[in-house]
Amino acid sequence: MTEHERTATLSREVTVADTAAAWGADFPPAASTPFVLGLGEVACHQAVAGDLEEGEITVGTAARIEHLLPSKVGSQLTAHARLIAASGRRFEFEVEVFDGDELVARIAHTRAAVLRQRITDRL
């Protein structure tokens, strides 16, 4: 891996399918925590993708999320991921997710580099 700071930013609009209400009528029509986490996960992968070996991908191994505010359908959420530590095949990230200027989530996330073929073979 190179010595440059590894960051990535990814934005996506919240759709009805991305809401907690899509999981059941008891839940609000706001961006679901799984959606917010997924956005952060993809941003983390993108931050280190250029440093992976041929045939490698990253997979999530741990996450801690603080989902602080709701975001309505049509909101543009933006995840800013920053690599804070790397050890061998493991990567630790800090992620902040914004709805406009408002911080809606903080995520501490760990990913590991694996051979894509190993995953597909297990499937």
Residue 9 annotated to the active site: no
Which of the following is catalytic: 45, 58, 67, 109?
67
Query: Please, are residues 11 and 76 in contact by the beta-carbon 8 Å criterion?
Result: yes
Query: Please, are residues 71 and 14 in contact by the beta-carbon 8 Å criterion?
Result: yes
> If we measure between CA atoms, which residue out of 77, 15, 9 comes closest to residue 45?
9
Which of the following is catalytic: 19, 41, 58, 109?
41
Residue 109 annotated to the active site: no
Which of the following is catalytic: 7, 33, 78, 110?
33
> If we measure between CA atoms, which residue out of 46, 49, 93, 100 comes closest to residue 78?
100
* CA–centroid distance for 49 within its chain: 13
Residue 33 annotated to the active site: yes
CA gap 15, 45 in Å, rounded: 22
Any idea which residues carry the catalytic annotation?
A: 33, 41, 67
